[in-house]
Amino acid sequence: MTYKIGITCYPTVGGSGVVATELGKALAEKGHQIHFITSSLPFRLDEQKANIYFHEVVVNQYSVFRYPPYDLALASKMAEIIKCEELDILHVHYAIPHAISAYLAKEMVDRDVKIVTTLHGTDITVLGYDPSLSDMIKFGIEKSDAVTAVSRDLIHQTKSLLHIQRSISPVYNFVDERIYYPRETDELRKSFEIDSDVHIISHVSNFRKVKRVQDVVRVFEKVQQKTRAVLMLIGEGPELPVIKDLVKNLKLSHLVFFLGNQKRVAEIVSMSDVKLLLSEKESFGLVILEAMACGVPVIGTNIGGIPEVIEDGKSGFICEVGDIESIAARTLYLLKNPMVRKQMSQEALKRATVTFHQNRIVADYEQIYHNALKEL
């Protein structure tokens, strides 16, 4: 059974947009007809594929509007596409405002399209605490026909914060194993002029406060005192200038690569011995899975969904937020014990390709669509 599915997400760099786009691509490969309804072409939708259509949401810039009404323009576009493409499902990623726009669109048309909302994290863990938005988020969740969240922890947080009774299904993140896999990186290493005995530690994020990139630098400062190592920082965001200053003040500039947003993250990540994700909020941590799929163990913090991804001491390590000493000790332990690292790398790869395998996760979403439509 194949469906006509509308997908709305934030199309720029960011975990929720990446997951939504990869899901759309995977569903299209399975024969579903996919209609992306977004404000610009999702950045991962960079090649032409069968069964994929793109409908741009254009926001009216009329001068009377102090704030251009994105949510209304989106609802209007959704209604148009539901009608003319006869959508079965409208799958929105990120509750605010997408679930609300979807509800409005459904009210506007004479078609019982089913709304599936996926919660990705900050739509609950940050916006859910804003009293001006929380009732609206709750409304969007309650009016959806099915709701998923990217970890069990996020389900728990959503229910307790917003006092929600309805069922929310856990559906984890996944990565495309045709892109994320372990690979030879000798040439790439040479191109960066990194000697073969130098360890590589990496971190990928959008450099927001919640990612605590300063902790990554502080850990690195300790590690490089005990072993030869470099730090690769991938991504951009508001904290980047602060981090650049910190690196400079700690006199580590010669050992830290600021790579910005990269297209070929998989290759750079594959080159690493260990990746660090030391966030204070993280509903899943897609970048952890990207590393694991490349056979790279990750040290993550004991918050949100991270412990659901990394099995402490088996496929990586879990440490307390801000515990620089113990994170540095674990990092050094991994770097100095190649056998342990190899074992963890194998476990990480196994976990990424079994528990979080794309086929499994995509099938979970298909089942959710199927169940929502069965209840017609």
Query: Min. distance of Cβ 280 from ligand GMT in angstroms?
Result: 9
Nearer to ligand GMT, 6 or 285 (CB): 285
φ/ψ of residue 191, rounded to 5: -65, -25
Residue pair 146/91 in contact (Cβ under 8 Å)? The answer is no
Question: Which residue in 6, 15, 128, 140 binds ligand GMT (CB under 6 A)?
Answer: 15
Cα distance between the two ends of the chain:
16
Give the x/- contact pattern for ligand GMT in 284-303, rule: CB under 6 A. Answer: xxx-----------------
What is the rounded CA–CA span in Å between residue 261 and residue 194? 21
Q: Which positions from 188 through 217 interact with ligand GMT, judged by CB under 6 A?
A: 206, 208, 210
- Going from the C-alpha of 206 to that of each of 167, 225, 230, 286, 345, the distances in angstroms are 31, 27, 20, 12, 25
150 binds ligand GMT (CB under 6 A): yes
Cβ proximity to ligand GMT, 267 vs 280, nearer residue: 280
Rounded to a whole number of angstroms, the minimum distance from the CB of residue 340 to ligand GMT is 26
Q: Tokens standing for 338? A: 């190649």
Q: Is 158 in the site for ligand GMT (CB under 6 A)?
A: no
Q: How many CA atoms within 13 Å lie on the side-chain side of 191?
A: 7
Instruction: Please give the backbone phi and psi of residue 309, each rounded to the nearest 5 degrees, phi first.
Output: -95, -50
| Span from 35-43, 102-110, 120-128, 253-261 in contact with ligand GMT (CB under 6 A) | 120-128
Tell me how far, at minimum, the Cβ of 28 lies from ligand GMT, in Å.
20
Binds ligand GMT by CB under 6 A, chosen from 6, 11, 24, 121:
121
CB 25 within 8 A of CB 53: no
- Which residues sit opposite 34 in a β-bridge? 5, 52
The reply on whether position 283 binds ligand GMT by CB under 6 A is yes
Q: List residues binding ligand GMT (CB under 6 A).
A: 14-17, 19, 120-122, 125, 150, 173, 206, 208, 210, 281-286
